[in-house]
Amino acid sequence: MQFILPDLRPAAAELFVLAMSCVILFVDIVVKDTRRTALFALTQLTLLGAAFVTWSGLSGEVSYTFSNTYVHDLLSDVLKLMLYLTVMVVLVYARPYVIARPLLGRGEFYSLTLFATLGMMVMISANHFLTIYLGLELLSLSLYAMVALDRDSPKAAEAAMKYLVLGALASGLLLYGMSMIYGAVGSLEIGEVAERINAGVANHTILVFGLVFLIAGLAFKLGLVPFHMWIPDVYHGAPTPVALLIGSAPKLAAFAIVIRMLGNGLIVLSHDWQLMLMLMAVLSIAIGNIAAIAQHNLKRMLAYSAISHMGFMVLALACGVVEGDPRYALNAYSSAMFYVVVYVLSTAGTFGMILLLARSGFEADSLEDYKGLNKRNPWYAAILMMLMFSMAGIPFFVGFFAKFSVLQSVVAAGYLWLAIFAVLMSLIGAFYYLRVVKLMYFDAPTDDTPIHTPFEVKALISVNGLAVAVLGIFPDLLMWFCLLAIRLSLAVLG
């Protein structure tokens, strides 16, 4: 038997991140700096290096490696570049927080962050159901450990245990669904699965059963109702930098696996999975927005907000195919991609503000902590106001155009009632975002402690806040990139 060496170029960035993760583990043993400056610098250089490798291979061509289990295309390149940027931003925001808390500021924080990033990179480029599962588990196991990093916190230990148990259950559902699809089709390669279903050689009954388990596992990873209950507890109990990581970058990877599994591999079964996605999207938008109103902890509020936002994103995915006709898919799937990118940008900035205002012994995660912020620091209040306006979908911030593009794709597919429902729920959801603005500008401050911020964090949060305003004025370029990435990468559109 002759072993054929696979083409490693499509996975060059992943191999680089893996090698550097091992190097960082070794450096942590030999370098005893309590601030872990060398590890922070090495981690950022690793992400920059991976971005350079990905950018160097940027093209519209589609190539496969590792026996067609791994794909390199424009969609994977764009999402990976967004992923690197997001994780770099997370690390800059987290730096002052973890330095002030020795239990968090250990080498494991940086190495686990890179392993989680590697898992997301694998998910984004996976062209095989088992490759998706491999990346998903690498991400999940890293995040379970990161949630429990603060060993002295009962809330963190409880959140980690819930995340682990429910995550294991969801992984089991996902794997069981994959096994049923394999039994019906005889393959787990995404392109081959689509071809065999098209050819009519698969058992439709077994396929639908497998699809139900698959959708359930994906819904947990996205945080859709009724698989959403882990999100508020994990966001609240996890250290804020870990909650920031969980709430931002994995959404990009989750979008990638959903679009590859459903939009490519199982597109022929769209009439079976669209109704499930629509039902979960409607419930997520409703329950997420209504439950967020009752929250007094900002992290829990953002958790329920995440549920509603993922419902919005899935709404677009569910409207890509109408009565077997995929002509709406390009508009719908690119709108979903644009939405998830904008959501990650806004979430990173919002959690960044929580980290910016936090200090040793003070988490700044209660809504009461934001009273009178305008009097303490008008610039920070203005940044948080822009982020809240963007997440609420208020014109003319980029979040408005993200919601508008999704609603446009829903109406184009003929689901006018669904668009009206989403608009009404967005109006309800605007309340809890505007409540934060009201507290900052119209209430008296309860704390007059000066806000001391490192220059790099202050500069980054300013850029982050201004980005949601500038992209709201000029959203066309980002929209075009999403459209191009989807058009050149999905086989159903080729």
**pLDDT at position 1:** 46
The highest-confidence range among 59-73, 313-327, 368-382, 479-493, by mean pLDDT, is 368-382
The pair of structure tokens assigned to 113 is 């962050």
Structure confidence by residue, pLDDT tens digits, 165-209: 888 988 999 999 999 998 888 888 888 888 888 887 777 888 888
Provide the pLDDT for residue 84.
Answer: 95
Average pLDDT, integer, range 288-307 = 91
Better-predicted residue by pLDDT, 120 or 228: 120
Asked whether the predicted pLDDT for residue 3 surpasses 70, the reply is no
Interstrand relation of 63-65 and 70-72 (parallel, antiparallel or unpaired):
antiparallel
DSSP for residue 3: P
- Output b/e per residue, 248-285; b: 16+ Cβ within 10 A: bbbbbbbbbbbbbbbbbbbbbbbeebbebbbebbbbbb
Q: pLDDT of 88-121, one tens digit each?
A: 999 999 988 888 887 776 778 899 999 999 999 9
- Banded pLDDT at 489 (limits 50, 70, 90): confident
Residue for token pair 């679009």: 259
User: Could you count the other beta carbons within 10 Å of the beta carbon of residue 59?
Assistant: 12
Say if residues 69 and 328 touch (Cβ distance below 8 Å).
no
How do the domains of the chain map onto residue ranges?
Answer: 9-493
Q: Looking at residues 426-451, what average pLDDT do you find?
A: 87
Tell me the C-alpha to C-alpha distance, in Å, between residue 493 and each of 88, 263, 269, 303, 362.
33, 10, 16, 34, 51
Judged against a pLDDT cut of 80, whether residue 75 lies above it is answered with yes
pLDDT mean across residues, the chain: 88
Question: Does the structure show a pLDDT above 90 at 339?
Answer: yes
- Angle separating helix axes 476-489 and 74-99, nearest 10 degrees: 130
Judged against a pLDDT cut of 80, whether residue 418 lies above it is answered with yes
pLDDT in tens, 34-59: 778 888 899 999 999 999 999 988 87
Task: Please state the pTM of the whole predicted model.
Answer: 0.93
Q: Are 112 and 94 in contact (CB under 8 A)?
A: no
- Joined tokens for residue 365: 């995660």
State mean pLDDT over 263-284: 86
